[in-house]
Amino acid sequence: MKKIIAQGAEAKIFLENNQILKNRFRKSYRITKIDNRLRGSRTRREAKVLDKLRIIGFPAPKVIKNDEKENLILEKIEGKLVKDVLDKNYEKLSAEIGKKIAVLHNNGVIHGDLTTSNMIINKEIFFIDFGLSFFSGKAEDKAVDLHVLKESLESKHYKVWEMAFHEALAAYRKEAKNSYETLKRLEAVEKRGRYRAKKGN
């Protein structure tokens, strides 16, 4: 029996036979040919990222089936959302998050949506939902990835976010290649964000 468990702007997530079915649904406002091409390319890209992570042994869902059009069947990861447990043990968990982001970036993978809702803790932290992921070695893309994490921590973990982000960055700095360049770029990304916010007021 198929049961919907989540829906985002791009995809519906179903639980079926203890597996995750991710369906990128059609967008009626887009020209059909363009819509089909976009959904297909994003499905293939997500599968390629997850296959790369499987090869390097990174904790993320394995691809069971890929129709290369709109559907991915993925391994179901058991455990609790990091969102629900981070505040109680933010030092250890945040350090692990920072270290694992470094592993992604060292292998040219940008997650694109680094929030604690997209992380599951079992014996270790698994990263899920690579729907916005892509391959890049650019410092700018890595910095934006970290900035998304910061904004997520600030909005969902307001009591501990500063300490949690500090722990994550400290671990990232130790493990990531060219971390100095990425963290300098992060400062520029944050300045741009503050400038836009100031302009909007």
pLDDT tens profile 117-156: 999 999 999 999 999 999 999 999 999 999 999 999 999 9
User: What is the pLDDT confidence band of residue 197, given thresholds at 50, 70 and 90?
Assistant: very low
Domain 3-75 sits in CATH at: 3.30.200.20
pLDDT digits (tens, 9 = 90+) for 70-107: 999 999 999 999 999 999 999 999 999 999 999 999 99
81 DSSP β-pair partners = 120
Question: Which pTM was predicted?
Answer: 0.92
- pLDDT on residue 57: 98
Contact 151/79 with Cβ under 8 angstroms? no
Q: CATH: 1.10.510.10, 3.20.20.10, 1.10.3720.10, 1.20.1440.60. Which one for 80-200?
A: 1.10.510.10
**Who's near 108: CB < 8 A, 6+ residues apart?**
135, 136, 137
User: Where residue 199 falls among pLDDT bands split at 50, 70, 90?
Assistant: very low
Active site residues: 113
Helix ranges restricted to H, the chain: 32-56, 90-106, 139-156, 161-175, 179-200
- Cα gap 95→64, rounded to integer Å: 30
Is 150 exposed, middle or buried (CB count within 10 Å of its CB: 0-12, 13-18, 19+)? buried
* Tens-digit pLDDT profile for residues 4-49: 998 888 899 999 999 999 999 998 899 999 999 999 999 999 999 9
* The token pair that represents 134 in the structure block: 């892509």
Closest by alpha carbon to 48, among 72, 26, 27?
A: 72
Measured distance CA(173)–CA(102) in Å, rounded: 8
The domains of the chain are located at 3-75, 80-200
Helix, strand or coil, per DSSP, at residue 133: coil
